[in-house]
Amino acid sequence: MGIVRYISIVAMPIVILLIIANALKEKVAIFDIFLKGAKDGIEIVFKIFPTLVGLFVAIGMLRSSGVIEFIISIISPITNFFKFPNEILPLAMLRPISGSASMAVATDIIKNNGVDSFIGILASVIMGSTETTLYTIAVYTGSVRIKKTRFILVASLLADITGILVSIWVCRYFF
């Protein structure tokens, strides 16, 4: 375990030194490239900022309005039939929308059910198996100004659903 800890401590400084050494060897103006990259990064932030503000406002409204609890009450008979744990439904619904909201829900699930419980393990596996889809789509498509995201959204949400279902299957099989 000591060697893993040592490698994790020295990995980033070594990578930075290798980049600097390669730039010196190739006679590249590394600081100018760094400044250009920083400038491009700031421009991208300004391009996607309105999209992110709209997304965060929508997430806040969704959480505050009680819509999530209403949807859970409607779909819980279906999920009960398929033995989908109701405690996971808020996480499954929020994970594609918001990373911070899903982290809060996952933390709450683990706090209420325990770290080693089936529900706690399932929440952790779902968090690792899915992506904050809407945020990711907003960032990537907003930075390159893609307007038609219909097919990207469908494919990404199907991947999230698959990740959630496989997480449930894996947790039931292994835990």
User: Tens of pLDDT along 28-53?
Assistant: 888 888 899 999 989 888 887 887 77
pLDDT at 50: 81
Helical spans, DSSP H, in the chain: 2-26, 30-65, 67-81, 89-94, 99-113, 118-129, 133-143, 150-174
* Residue 73 vs residues 18, 53, 70, 97, 107: alpha-carbon distances, Å: 55, 29, 5, 19, 22
Does the structure show a pLDDT above 80 at 169? Answer: yes
pLDDT at 121: 93
Q: Please give the structure tokens belonging to residue 95.
A: 């994970």
Contacts of 97 (CB under 8 A, 6+ apart): 59, 62, 132, 133, 134, 135
Does the structure show a pLDDT above 80 at 143? Answer: no
DSSP designation for 98: -
DSSP designation for 146: -
pLDDT band at residue 1 using 50, 70 and 90 as cut-offs: low
Contact between 89 and 79 under an 8 Å Cβ cutoff? The reply is yes
* CA dist., res. 95 & res. 102, Å (int): 5
- What is the tens place of the pLDDT at every residue in 61-111? 877 888 888 888 898 888 888 888 888 988 988 888 878 778 888 888 998
Contact between 34 and 114 under an 8 Å Cβ cutoff? The reply is no
In the chain, % of residues over pLDDT 70: 99
Contact between 90 and 105 under an 8 Å Cβ cutoff? The reply is yes
* CA dist., res. 59 & res. 45, Å (int): 20
- What is the tens place of the pLDDT at every residue in 17-26? 998 899 889 8
